Amino acid sequence: MQVWRGRKGRGAALSWFAAMGRPVAAGLSGLALAVTILLASGAHNPAQAADCGNVASPGLDWSECSKTNIMLEGSDLQGANLAGAHFDSTDLSNANLTLANLEKATLVRAWLKNARAEAANFSRIEAYRADFSNISANGARFASAELQRAEFGGAQLTNADFQKAELGRADFDKAVLTGSNFSLANLSRAALSGATIKGPVAFGGAFMYLTRIEGLDLSTATGLEQEQINLACGDKATVLPAGLKSPENWPCPPDDKD
């Protein structure tokens, strides 16, 4: 299909239709249709395409791009659009992801150790066995994320949102969880022991089968029910909210790491 652009192109189109013996009106109708289809496809509209070939920089668009198994350590991706991008086994340690949008991105076995990700959007990511240790992600969103066996040791997660997240066997040792929201999250076998909580943390509806809460001060936690505590693993040092009591089966045996 030939497509003409500009005033000269339009004149050439008219001449072509005349030479072919076609009515100009019909030709223009066909030309308009061709242009409409072309524009709708976005084939000649680079602004609609992601910057997959561009190097890491603040604010770029890598949405849906494949960036698996590469070194991006220390990259500045502040405010970048990384929605749906593929970062499996990619090194993002020490990267700046502040305000970045990673919704629905895949980060299976990715490294984000020591990254900065304040107010970043990690909602609905797939990050099985990802390393978020020592990340600074205060105010970040992890809602409905797949985070089984993820490492959050030493992470700064004040006011982070983990609603409905899958956190089976995730490790939060020495993480700061003040103000975090675990409502309706799956915390089965997750390790919260050793975390720091100085203020409210929401656990309403969370599944806490064998969740490790030994030594944890949960006196300011909200949404906890006795049924959740009965499933969890605490000890004499665990401080519970008023009205809840330690079950007789505490302490639990050591966790099977397999």
Overall average pLDDT of the 35-45 stretch: 38
pTM: 0.80
Which of 133, 129, 128, 54 is closest to 117 using CA atoms? 133
pLDDT at 257: 67
The pLDDT-based confidence of 50 (bands split at 50, 70, 90) is confident
pLDDT at 255: 82
Q: Is there a contact between 219 and 198 (Cβ–Cβ < 8 Å)?
A: no
Question: Which of 11-25, 32-46, 180-194 has the lowest average pLDDT?
Answer: 32-46
- Examine the pLDDT at 123 and tell me if it is beyond 70: yes
CA dist list (Å): 193 to 50, 151, 159, 232: 42, 13, 18, 11
Q: How buried is 80 (Cβ within 10 angstroms: 0-12 exposed, 13-18 middle, 19+ buried)? A: buried
Please, what is the average pLDDT of the chain?
86
Domain boundaries, the chain: 6-47
Quick one: pLDDT at residue 256?
Answer: 75
Among 233, 193, 192, CA closest to 210: 233
Tell me the average pLDDT across 20-48.
41
Contact 13, 4 (CB under 8 A): yes
Query: Would you give the end-to-end CA distance of the chain in angstroms?
Result: 60
Q: How far apart are CA 214 and CA 232, in angstroms?
A: 9
Is it the case that residue 77 has pLDDT exceeding 80?
Answer: yes
Query: Quick one: average pLDDT of 125-131?
Result: 98
Cα 252 to Cα 83, 119, 175, 210, 240, distances in angstroms = 40, 36, 22, 8, 16
Ranking 8-17, 58-67, 115-124 by mean pLDDT, the lowest is 8-17
As given in the structure block, the two tokens for residue 59 are 């604010």
Between 35 and 201, name the one with better pLDDT.
201
What are the DSSP calls for 52-116, one per residue? Answer: TTSPP-TT-B-TT-B-TT-B-TT-B-TT-B-TT-B-TT-B-TT-B-TT-B-TT-B-TT-B-TT-B
Q: What pLDDT shows up at residue 71?
A: 98
pLDDT (0 to 100) of residue 19: 42
**Better-predicted residue by pLDDT, 4 or 89:** 89
Contacts of 147 by beta carbon, 8 Å cutoff, 6+ apart: 125, 127, 128, 130, 162, 165, 166, 167, 170
Band of the pLDDT at 49, cuts 50, 70, 90? low
pLDDT: which is higher, 48 or 245: 245
